[in-house]
């Protein structure tokens, strides 16, 4: 019998479970990341000097090898879902933060001036002009972040967060290529799916007047 089929019949429930854990682990982190990075990006967009500092800190976090990062948090946060989410959350920040910041900074100056000149206050300017104009760019940041995080979440299994990484590391321990594939393929499919769905969403939030016809 085909070893893949055999594996599937034997442990489809495990794979499904791992996929589900993987989904909430990664999407949860990205959602939290967006919740923090979007408002922070907006706040920074009118504070260039602080923005430079914050963006470079976020950039530095991004360069810490993920394995090492999990190692650092181990003594502080222990193992499990929580520390994994904290690390993934920190990783998800940069793309969203950077896109929010530049998306808003790149709203054409004449639109800001038109809005101000017609009597919008800061809040109205943000919600009526800046955010709608920057939304496609912000969404792109969230999409990029999601794809990264889905792939990095496989490493989270090392600190006991579960997910598809469990299958991969398990497979590596027992030299079972099929088990490794059972973790890798769903992870890759998840990343593609997320990218596809968020890509559609990105188009949907692009104001009709901004779409190239």
Partner 1 sequence: MIKFEEVTKKYGNQEVVKNINMHVREGEFMVLIGPSGCGKTTTLKMINRLVEPTSGRILIRDQDIMDMNPVKLRREIGYVIQQIGLFPNMTIEQNVDLVPRLLKWDKERRAKRVRELLELVDMDPDLYAHRYPNELSGGQQQRIGVLRALAAEPSVILMDEPFGALDPITRENLQDELKNLQNKLHKTIVFVTHDMDEALKLADRIAIMKDGQIVQLDTPEMILRKPANEFVLEFIGKHRVAGGGPATVESVMKSNPVIIGPERGVEEALALMKHKGVNTLLVVEQDKRLVGVVTVEKLDKNRRRASTVKELVETDIPVVAAGSPAREAFNTLTANKLDYLPVVDEKKRLLGLVTKTSIVNALASFVWKEETA
Angle between helices 3-45 and 131-152 (to 10 degrees): 140
The token pair at 144 is: 């990029």
204 lies in the site for partner 1, by CB under 8 A = no
Closer to partner 1 by Cβ: residue 28 or 132: 132
Q: Which of 75, 121, 173, 174 binds partner 1 (CB under 8 A)?
A: 121
d(CA 177, CA 37): 38
Q: Does 113 bind partner 1 (CB under 8 A)?
A: yes
C-alpha 23/C-alpha 189 separation (Å) is: 11
- Residue 115 binds to partner 1 (criterion: CB under 8 A): yes
Q: Which member of 50, 53, 111, 192 binds partner 1 (CB under 8 A)?
A: 111
In the set 1, 9, 117, 175, which binds partner 1 (CB under 8 A)?
Answer: 117
Question: Using CB under 8 A, which of the segments 69-77, 93-101, 179-187, 204-212 binds partner 1?
Answer: 204-212
Of 96, 104, 106, residue with least CA distance to 127: 104
Among 50, 74, 128, 204, binds partner 1 (CB under 8 A): 128
CB distance 76 to 159 below 8 Å = no
Q: CB–CB of 54/44 below 8 Å?
A: yes
Which string of x and - marks every residue 72-91 that binds partner 1 (by CB under 8 A)? --------------------
Among 31, 36, 81, 120, binds partner 1 (CB under 8 A): 120
Residue 171: which residues within 8 A CB-CB, separation 6 or more?
A: 177, 178, 179, 180, 181, 182, 183
Interface stretch with partner 1, choices 105-113, 137-145, 149-157, 166-174 (CB under 8 A)? 105-113
In whole angstroms, what is the distance from residue 98 CA to residue 137 CA? 10
* Whether 137 contacts 106, CB under 8 Å: yes
**Contact positions vs partner 1 (CB under 8 A):** 110-111, 113-121, 124, 128-129, 132-133, 207-210, 213
């Amino acid at each position: 019998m085909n070893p893949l089929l055999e594996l599937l019949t034997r442990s489809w429930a495990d794979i499904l479970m791992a996929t589900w854990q993987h989904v909430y682990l990664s999407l949860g982190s990205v959602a939290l990341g967006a919740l923090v990075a979007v408002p922070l990006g907006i706040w920074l967009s009118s504070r260039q000097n602080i923005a430079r500092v914050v963006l470079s800190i976020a950039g530095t976090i991004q360069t810490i090898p993920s394995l090492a990062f999990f190692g650092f948090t181990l003594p502080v946060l222990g193992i499990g879902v929580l520390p994994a989410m904290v690390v993934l959350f920190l990783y998800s920040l940069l793309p969203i933060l950077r896109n929010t910041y530049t998306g808003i900074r790149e709203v054409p100056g004449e639109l800001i001036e038109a809005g101000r000149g017609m009597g919008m206050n800061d809040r109205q300017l943000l919600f009526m002009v800046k955010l709608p104009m920057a939304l496609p760019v912000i969404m792109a940041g969230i999409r990029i972040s999601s794809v990264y995080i889905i792939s990095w979440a496989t490493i989270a299994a090392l600190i006991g967060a579960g997910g598809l990484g469990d299958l991969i590391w398990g497979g590596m321990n027992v030299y079972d290529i099929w088990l490794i594939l059972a973790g890798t393929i769903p992870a890759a499919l998840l990343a593609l799916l997320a990218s596809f769905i968020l890509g559609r969403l990105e188009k949907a939030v692009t104001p009709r007047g901004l779409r190239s016809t």
